Amino acid sequence: MKIDIKRRIVSVPTGLVVREVQQNGEGAQEESRTIEGKAIVFDTPTVLYDGPDFVEREIIQASCVTPEFLAEQDVVLNLLHERDTAFARSNKGVGTLKMEIREDGLYFSVEAPKCSLGEQALELVRNKTYTGCSMEFFPKDYEIRESVTEDGRPEYLIVHKAFDRLTALTIAMEPAYEDTEVVASTREARKTEDDTAELERLQKEVEMRELRAHMDAADAAILKREFFNNY
């Protein structure tokens, strides 16, 4: 069986955090605007699809993201996989998006800009509406290992050894892994009625985007089942 793998969007185990209050240049405390997280986890399988017809899993090896590879990438940080919500960027290492390769994965940090997207990201990470990360990449070198589950379904494990491109990191709403979590700092300032109304508006907007994303994922799963059934 041949599986056509092109552009991939994968949710990964990660932790998102807004740093606690920090010192400003005058020694006074101020609320942090730094969002940090782990966008890629090495050597940890994720379930891409678990349905009645088959199971598909994916593993990303550390060889996919090396310092040399990362230095040549143009990567944006966006919200909910939407390109027009990008609010940070690292173009060959230059930009507001900071990335660091560690033993267990790729970490990132960004100072949220003082614009509508930056405020939205900060607020919804703090209140745990955004609970994880995803990424967008184009595969280069991979293998597909086939097996059968205990209940007789075909199982496909995609092992990525190298990326062709890494194009986006995404702050997401519902990551695929159960151990994904988000920790937000406690805000000391009391919310005004205007703040609360704006937060409710942003949450409704996020819910609509997430609904569209789930509908797209369902359509993709149906197409994939039809593809497999032709073989």
Residue 14 has pLDDT above 50, yes or no: yes
Residue 186: band (very low, low, confident or very high) from pLDDT cuts 50, 70, 90: very low
> CA neighbours within 13 Å on the CB side: how many for 7?
5
Q: What is the pLDDT of residues 94-107, one digit of tens each?
A: 999 999 999 999 99
Which of these ranges, 26-35, 73-82, 113-122, has the smallest mean pLDDT? 26-35
Interval 115-135 mean pLDDT: 89
- On average, the pLDDT of the chain sits at 77
Query: For the chain, what percent of residues have pLDDT higher than 90?
Result: 45
Is residue 160 within 8 A of residue 59, CB to CB? The reply is yes
Q: What is the pLDDT of residues 20-74, one digit of tens each?
A: 655 555 555 668 899 998 888 899 888 888 999 999 999 999 999 999 999 999 9
What single DSSP character describes residue 85?
A: G
Which of these ranges, 22-36, 120-134, 199-213, has the smallest mean pLDDT? 199-213
Gap between the Cα atoms of 167 and 105, Å rounded: 16
Residue 228 has pLDDT above 60, yes or no: no
Which carries the bigger pLDDT value, residue 36 or residue 81? Answer: 36
Neighbours of 72 (CB within 10 A): 10
The verdict on pTM exceeding 0.75 is: no
Please tell me the predicted confidence (pLDDT) of residue 187: 34
Amino acid of residue 78: N
Nearest of 108, 114, 113 to residue 93 by alpha carbon: 108
Please tell me the predicted confidence (pLDDT) of residue 4: 58
Residue 215 has pLDDT above 60, yes or no: no
3-class secondary structure per residue, 98-159: EEEEECCEEEEEEECCCCHHHHHHHHHHHCCCCCEEEEEEEEEEEEEEEEECCCCCEEEEEE
Gap between the Cα atoms of 149 and 207, Å rounded: 34
Find the helix or strand (DSSP H, E) in which 220 lies.
helix 193-229
Residues whose CB falls within 8 Å of the CB of residue 24, separated by 6 or more in sequence, listed in order: 30
Residue 128 has pLDDT above 80, yes or no: yes
Interval 101-119 mean pLDDT: 93
Q: Are strands 88-91 and 94-95 parallel, antiparallel or unpaired?
A: antiparallel
Please tell me the predicted confidence (pLDDT) of residue 181: 38
Which carries the bigger pLDDT value, residue 52 or residue 128? Answer: 52
Residue 227 has pLDDT above 80, yes or no: no
Q: What is the pLDDT of residues 16-33, one digit of tens each?
A: 778 665 555 555 566 889
